[in-house]
Structure 1
Amino acid sequence: MRRSLKSLKSLRSLRSLRSLLPERSDYLGLRSSWRGDALAGITVGIVALPLALAFGVSSGAGAEAGLITAIVAGIVAAVFGGSHVQVSGPTGAMVVVLAPIVASQGIEAVAIVSLMAGVIVVIAGVLRLGRTVSYIPWPVIEGFTVGIGAIIFLQQVPAALGTESVEHSTNAVLAAVTFIGSAQWPAALLPLGVAVAVIILMLVLSKISGRLPASFIAIVAVTIATHAFSLPLATIGTLPASLPAPALPTLDPASFTPLISAAFAVAALAAIESLLSARVASAMTDAGAYNADRELVGQGLASIASGFFGGMPATGAIARTAVNVRSGARTRVAALVHALALLIVVYLAAQVVAVIPLAALSGVLMATAARMISPTVVKQVVRAGKAEAAVFTITAIITVSFDLIFAVGIGIAAAAFFALRALSAASGVHREELPGSPQPGDERIALFRVDGSLFFGAAERIITRINDHDGIEIAIVRLSQLQIVDSTGAHTLTELITALERRGVTVLIKGIRPEHRHVLEKLGVIDSLRHANHLFDELEPAIEHARSHVRRTAATD
């Protein structure tokens, strides 16, 4: 028997592990969808090229790292990830975290952090933590997104002004103001004009048609113009004409400890952004639901692979995934084609890409960041209620001012506080009239109905209201309308019964729900009653018992 149970458990574990790995069903329908998938992949590749370059440059790791991440991580995540249409690679949110790491620890730290964070994300997937992202409230997500958009925009100020960002301040606003003040005017007007030209072109092209690769067209047009007029602008510079060979990054033991916290921050961000992107993609298409745990495993492996090739940590990219879906992608082949298209660029067009002005890339990211801040969504959050608006604002401000992961934690805590306050306000105790015709002695009986939740946020207030009623001999407490009881509520109820009984007030409890009985029994609520027959399932027997008790007391007096 024990051997059979062990075999059954082993089989279940094997099936559980198997669900995290690629399978043939990932490519169902490919025979009919391969043309659409290929076209979607090429479209996304065109869109992803300037973004991969820009994110690499903005992070401080270089354009090469951005391309490597888009290619290597894009392939690995497409094969091993849990979404059929997700496109992965470098993202703006990851750049926000990586830029300070590069500034303080050097470029070499990026690959190491990518490996470490990848391992953490894989472990999270194996431990089945994928669904935890569903606990992040909507106002927190939107505040987080707005904050990231603001930081990305501000981080592009140095490149847009033609200056090099030597130090990354913890406050993006102060850093941007510093660079504006230290810029070489009027020479800075030239790169600024290039960045503005890219932004205007992208806005105009997106107005003409949402299907146009606006960033790619804007980059090509501005690059041609700057070289036609021989404008003195900093460019991307030499790029390798092939992918580097995979290698284990050199690890300095002295720098390992400072990178641990950075790796956990990167891992948390990678998990959150990838799962949010996968969820959005699943809602946009009928290509199939996503497997959250497998998505974590796939994204973790993608970051590990990217680190071996000298790239950056990868996440699911919401914007590129949306383009993929709108372009008709149905299977993972679209994401694979996107990565292969970028690989062709590396092998055939590296010299062409090298002449792109850095100011043009900053314009692309500024426009991308501006699109992340949707006025419509902001209005929706603000109009949803004061609590939602407060959570949104708190998350956005902390994201810009302090730290992304810290902002999510504070945002969730603020949302939990407001939710608990609302739950507490909806909970209460009401004194009711005894049903039926009044009888002598009814004034000595108090019938209380407890509504909502008897939990740590409301227990003390509810119990105090019951305890404040003087001049009664019997208290009937109705619990049938109670929805939630936690340990604090049960413990406080026990204290109330004990206190009332000590004052000579007999307590009767009516209607304990089956799901609440365990915690009430364990924390002594039932044992604190004077007699076991003071527990009732129906109200009428409880009232009759109370009245008979009053009559006996009156006869004794």
Structure 2
Amino acid sequence: MISKYIGDLRREFAGYNGAKLVKDLMAGVTVAAVALPLALAFGISSGADAAAGLVTAVIGGFVMSVLSGASYQVSGPTGAMTAVLIALVAKSGLRGMFVTCLIAGALLLLCGVFRLGRLVEYIPIPVITGFTTGIALVIALGQIDNLLGTASAGESILEKLGSYFAIGFHVNLASALIGACTIALMLIWPRKWNARVPASLVAIVLATLAVSLFRPAVATVGEIPRSILLSQRLRFGDLSLGELPGYLPGALSIAALALIESLLCASSAARMKKEGYDADRELVSQGVGNMLLPFFGGVPATAAIARTSVAIKSGGQTRLTGMFHSLVLLLCALALSPVFRNLPLCALAGVLVVTAWRMNDWENIRQYFGKKLKGPIVKFLVTMAATVAFDLTLAILLGIAVALVVFLIRVSRLEVTSSRVENGKMHLCERDVEGPCRNAVVVYITGPLFFVNSGKLIRELGRVEGCDTVILSIRGVPLIDISAVTALSDYCEACAERGIQLAVCGAQDRVLEKLRECELYDKLGARRFYRSVDRLLVEMCGCAGNV
């Protein structure tokens, strides 16, 4: 992996010159302008503070860019991750979140080392779309307190929503007004302007000016330390081996989300830039970054499609774009921390509400519901509901389970038809077969044979009566499992007891191999297997009705 990394770096920087350096620098500045308000907002919404978000963007963004499996990935705190961290911080505190982040980083590192980068390919798109929408709902609902100046209690989003009925729902009009203006500005800001000056940055600058001038009674970010080594951070003395297993479920959720989000980002960006990526090395970079972040006071990070796409569209050439973005954010943290003191939380909440709306895969959602695709709709809704009600890991597992059930139902569709022998279906010769084979029935089976439909197979074969020979045409059977082989074996025994001769025609190589493996081939005998029904019928006519 190291030699491949060095080789990729050589190819990436081959022919690198001053012009490309300028492009990387300018793209890095542009990405930083987009990332700044998001880093502050995601830091707060994750249950930490704005400084933690900035540290994550600086340290995580730099380290992950250096080690990334692609030249274009830009990493940092993301909205999807905050949806997991909200409940985690409420339950275990910041120290618990730091330890969980460290374990998640180690899991990601192991996934990369053991080359598990293709795992994301086994998650159906409707499941990914469903959990993305579920996360968007968690993010949006989690901003109600900061957006409207209200207060809630509880660990999960559902508990917080329920607490409003117990403790009341008291809106701060100033917070609501600033939040609403932030949302409106981001929605009406022209797209062509947004490419140069992000609407989110304009919104938080205007909101900060308004609070500094008019001093409304709204919650603000407060002091941000001029350092990337925060006072609230993980120290080696905080680690206890005995308590690590208790953090494993949360770590699995964080690692699963980081794996999915980073690799989906890489896949999408690869299509945009028309350049490949190394999935396993990307997981290594995410793992190393997330193992380092807790020791600086940062929150878990992943590759972010919003920042990555901005980097590509802004002309970024190499991984230096992500590194420059982090350095620019570091300068902002050091130079502008007094300005951030008056940044209202309601404005950051407004930024996150719009971000949550935009992170939905609306194209796929419209396709599912517009075309009434029942399977994708079920997977989407189950995963979305599970993401809101439970946690990400369980939501993905439920979504995959539903997808498997839907898949099994669809592939288990078995078509079984039967007919008497007809001269019109003969292709090898024109001789009469209807007379000599008048007591034979051909059963045509189409579809995979496995445990789900083996019962149906036996029921359909049981309806075949009034004959002394049954010919099973299984050319349309692409695969067969042990349950179906067992069912066929039972049917063979039943035919033998009733004096009915049985033959099998047109078995594909994979099916024939399975029949041999399960000894049904030997049980029936090689003379009972034919390449086609035609060949069998010709032999039957030539052999006075013997198969």
TM-score by length of 1: 0.89
What are the ranges of 5 or more consecutive residues in structure 2 without an aligned counterpart?
427-431
Is the partner of 2:353 in helix, strand or coil?
helix
Whether the aligned pair in 2 keeps the contact of 1:56 and 1:62 (CA below 8 Å) is: yes
1:460 — aligned with what?
A: 455
1:258 — aligned with what?
A: 246
CA distance in 2, matches of 1:161, 1:105: 26
Is the partner of 1:123 in helix, strand or coil?
helix
CA distance in 2, matches of 1:160, 1:181: 20
Of 380, 384, 396, the match for 2:384: 396
Counterparts of residues 438-477 of structure 1 (less than 5 Å):
438-477=433-472
Distance 1:324 1:518, change over 3 A: same
Is residue 118 from structure 1 mapped to residue 105 from structure 2 by the alignment? yes
Is residue 536 from structure 1 mapped to residue 530 from structure 2 by the alignment? yes
Is residue 101 from structure 1 mapped to residue 88 from structure 2 by the alignment? yes
1:507 — aligned with what?
A: 502
2:130 — aligned with what?
A: 143
* Segment drifting more, 174-183 vs 274-283: 174-183
Letter in 2 for 1:424: S
Q: Quote the offset at 1:323 in angstroms.
A: 1.8
The count of aligned residue pairs is 532
Is residue 424 from structure 1 mapped to residue 408 from structure 2 by the alignment? no
1:36-80 per-position Cα deviation (integer Å, ceiling 9, x unaligned): 222221111111111111111111121121111111111121121
Is the partner of 2:70 in helix, strand or coil?
coil
* Segment drifting more, 86-95 vs 542-551: 542-551
Whether the aligned pair in 1 keeps the contact of 2:153 and 2:160 (CA below 8 Å) is: no
CA distance in 2, matches of 1:333, 1:357: 32
Counterparts of residues 189-268 of structure 1 (less than 5 Å):
189-207=173-191, 209-211=193-195, 212-244=197-229, 247-248=235-236, 250-252=238-240, 255-268=243-256
1:220-262 per-position Cα deviation (integer Å, ceiling 9, x unaligned): 0111011111222221111121211885361245643321111
Distance 1:308 1:487, change over 3 A: farther
Letter in 2 for 1:116: I
Distance 1:141 1:30, change over 3 A: farther
Letter in 1 for 2:214: F
CA distance in 1, matches of 2:460, 2:531: 24
Distance 1:438 1:131, change over 3 A: same
1:176-226 per-position Cα deviation (integer Å, ceiling 9, x unaligned): 35348746745x111111111111111122456341311111000111011
Is residue 24 from structure 1 mapped to residue 19 from structure 2 by the alignment? no
CA distance in 2, matches of 1:377, 1:551: 58
Q: Quote the offset at 1:27 in angstroms.
A: 3.1
Is the partner of 2:111 in helix, strand or coil?
helix
Distance 1:39 1:163, change over 3 A: same
Whether the aligned pair in 2 keeps the contact of 1:157 and 1:180 (CA below 8 Å) is: no
Q: Quote the offset at 1:311 in angstroms.
A: 1.3
CA distance in 2, matches of 1:464, 1:388: 31
* Segment drifting more, 122-131 vs 476-485: 476-485
Distance 1:508 1:141, change over 3 A: same
Identity of matched residues, %: 34
Whether the aligned pair in 2 keeps the contact of 1:161 and 1:180 (CA below 8 Å) is: no
Whether the aligned pair in 2 keeps the contact of 1:52 and 1:70 (CA below 8 Å) is: yes
1:8 — aligned with what?
A: none
Whether the aligned pair in 1 keeps the contact of 2:76 and 2:303 (CA below 8 Å) is: yes
Letter in 2 for 1:57: I
1:423-473 per-position Cα deviation (integer Å, ceiling 9, x unaligned): 122x32222444343433423212122222112222321343123212222
Of 383, 387, 398, the match for 1:410: 398
1:359-408 per-position Cα deviation (integer Å, ceiling 9, x unaligned): 11111111111212355432112134111112212211221122222111
CA distance in 2, matches of 1:233, 1:28: 52
CA distance in 1, matches of 2:515, 2:237: 57
CA distance in 2, matches of 1:18, 1:383: 49
CA distance in 1, matches of 2:3, 2:152: 46
Whether the aligned pair in 2 keeps the contact of 1:154 and 1:173 (CA below 8 Å) is: no
Distance 1:249 1:98, change over 3 A: farther
> RMSD across aligned C-alpha pairs, in angstroms?
2.4
Distance 1:254 1:552, change over 3 A: closer
Of 258, 282, 287, the match for 1:270: 258
CA distance in 2, matches of 1:292, 1:249: 34
1:508-549 per-position Cα deviation (integer Å, ceiling 9, x unaligned): 1122222333322111220220x3211222433322344466
1:5 — aligned with what?
A: none
2:267 — aligned with what?
A: 279
CA distance in 2, matches of 1:152, 1:503: 67
Letter in 2 for 1:217: V
Letter in 2 for 1:314: A
CA distance in 2, matches of 1:87, 1:488: 49
Letter in 2 for 1:204: I
Is residue 86 from structure 1 mapped to residue 73 from structure 2 by the alignment? yes
Whether the aligned pair in 2 keeps the contact of 1:473 and 1:550 (CA below 8 Å) is: no
1:154-183 per-position Cα deviation (integer Å, ceiling 9, x unaligned): 0011111324555322xx245235348746
1:492-519 per-position Cα deviation (integer Å, ceiling 9, x unaligned): 3333323322332222112222233332
1:318-362 per-position Cα deviation (integer Å, ceiling 9, x unaligned): 222222222222321111111111111122222222321111111
Letter in 2 for 1:231: P
Q: Quote the offset at 1:95 in angstroms.
A: 0.9
Letter in 2 for 1:25: R
* Segment drifting more, 475-484 vs 486-495: 486-495
1:6-41 per-position Cα deviation (integer Å, ceiling 9, x unaligned): xxxxxxxxxx56446764224345435332222221
Whether the aligned pair in 2 keeps the contact of 1:143 and 1:396 (CA below 8 Å) is: yes
CA distance in 1, matches of 2:162, 2:546: 83
Letter in 2 for 1:390: V
Whether the aligned pair in 2 keeps the contact of 1:19 and 1:294 (CA below 8 Å) is: no
CA distance in 1, matches of 2:437, 2:236: 82
Q: Quote the offset at 1:272 in angstroms.
A: 1.0
Is residue 365 from structure 1 mapped to residue 352 from structure 2 by the alignment? yes
* Segment drifting more, 64-73 vs 494-503: 494-503
Is the partner of 2:222 in helix, strand or coil?
coil
Whether the aligned pair in 1 keeps the contact of 2:152 and 2:160 (CA below 8 Å) is: no
Is the partner of 2:448 in helix, strand or coil?
strand
CA distance in 2, matches of 1:492, 1:210: 64
Counterparts of residues 516-535 of structure 1 (less than 5 Å):
516-529=511-524, 531-535=525-529
Is the partner of 1:483 in helix, strand or coil?
coil
Distance 1:552 1:399, change over 3 A: closer
Whether the aligned pair in 1 keeps the contact of 2:54 and 2:329 (CA below 8 Å) is: yes
Whether the aligned pair in 1 keeps the contact of 2:43 and 2:53 (CA below 8 Å) is: yes
* Segment drifting more, 470-479 vs 96-105: 470-479
Whether the aligned pair in 1 keeps the contact of 2:73 and 2:266 (CA below 8 Å) is: yes
2:429 — aligned with what?
A: none
Letter in 2 for 1:541: R
Is residue 482 from structure 1 mapped to residue 477 from structure 2 by the alignment? yes
Whether the aligned pair in 1 keeps the contact of 2:107 and 2:287 (CA below 8 Å) is: yes
Letter in 1 for 2:216: L
